Structure 1
Amino acid sequence: MNKNIAYALLRISMGVNLLGHGLARIPKLSVFAQGMEKGFEKSWLPQPFVHLFSTTLPFLEFIIGGLLIIGFKTRLANMAGAALIIMLLFGSSTVEDWEAMGIQMIYALFFYILISKIEDNCFALDRKTS
């Protein structure tokens, strides 16, 4: 029972984190996107790609976070969250932002735990492994 509670608390914590990122960024989407584009000016990534990703990112964070909080499609939400972190790691590496990558690796570790312990996902709408 304790492992089920621990899983739910970690899942919800990750969900609140991602949902909060999305909620903070969506109302000021153009400012956020412009700031991200400016941060990637020295990157070799094409600016249209950076623009598309920066305007999509807050919505992805919001959706993934919401799914994790309520425990719906938990496996899919965890995989999407891990994939999002991989994309962020890739982007951070192109601008040599090693500090951000360190933080992103912590997120990757949490998603590893959430994915590898999915059988402990009992307190959720999808109950177990969907």
Structure 2
Amino acid sequence: MDTKWAYLLGRLAVGLSFFGHGLVRLPKLAGFSNWMVGQFSKSFLPDALVIAFSYILPFAELIAGIMIILGLFTKQGLILAGMLCLVLIFGSTTIENWDALPTQLIHVAFLSVLLAYLPHNSYAVDKIIKK
């Protein structure tokens, strides 16, 4: 099995997921923020925190996605994406949105595998920079 191609395929899939999440939310940022505030209205989280996070999240997802897709600062992109997932998991539990957890946990699992096998990240901008 060619682990370099397998790694690339996994990295691109995860990167596209984060990139797509951020990309579709940016044009409707205010609406996305309002939706999030509504979702968390019955949680103990303060509205100000939810509003701030809702405006940061799409940009962070987009940036993490670009980093992962390109393989540019791949480790940092994977960690950023993982941290976003952890915050989303915490948020989902505060509003008892158990349906969202499997998707979030699957993302974390894939990110963890990509981090564990980072030495196989051969088809990446990181490799060009290191030369």
Which of the five TM-score ranges fits, normalised by the shorter chain?
A: over 0.9
Distance, in Å, in 1 between the alignment partners of 2:103 and 2:124 is: 27
Question: What corresponds to 1:83 in structure 2?
Answer: 83
- SS of the residue aligned with 1:127? helix
Larger mean CA deviation between 119-128 and 56-65 belongs to 119-128
Distance, in Å, in 1 between the alignment partners of 2:95 and 2:74 is: 32
Distance, in Å, in 1 between the alignment partners of 2:65 and 2:43 is: 28
Displacement, 1:67?
0.6
Displacement, 1:70?
0.6
What number of residue pairs does the alignment pair up? 129
Unaligned runs of 5+ in 1: none
Question: What corresponds to 2:96 in structure 1?
Answer: 96
Please tell me the residue identity of whatever aligns with 1:85: C
Displacement, 1:127?
2.1
Q: TM-score, normalised by structure 2?
A: 0.95
Question: What corresponds to 1:44 in structure 2?
Answer: 44
Distance, in Å, in 1 between the alignment partners of 2:51 and 2:97 is: 18
Question: What corresponds to 1:63 in structure 2?
Answer: 63
- SS of the residue aligned with 1:45? coil
Q: Is 1:34–2:34 an aligned residue pair? A: yes
Q: Is 1:113–2:113 an aligned residue pair? A: yes
Displacement, 1:123?
0.3
Please tell me the residue identity of whatever aligns with 2:50: V
Unaligned runs of 5+ in 2: none
Displacement, 1:102?
1.4
Distance, in Å, in 2 between the alignment partners of 1:25 and 1:96 is: 23
- SS of the residue aligned with 2:100? helix
Distance, in Å, in 1 between the alignment partners of 2:104 and 2:3 is: 25
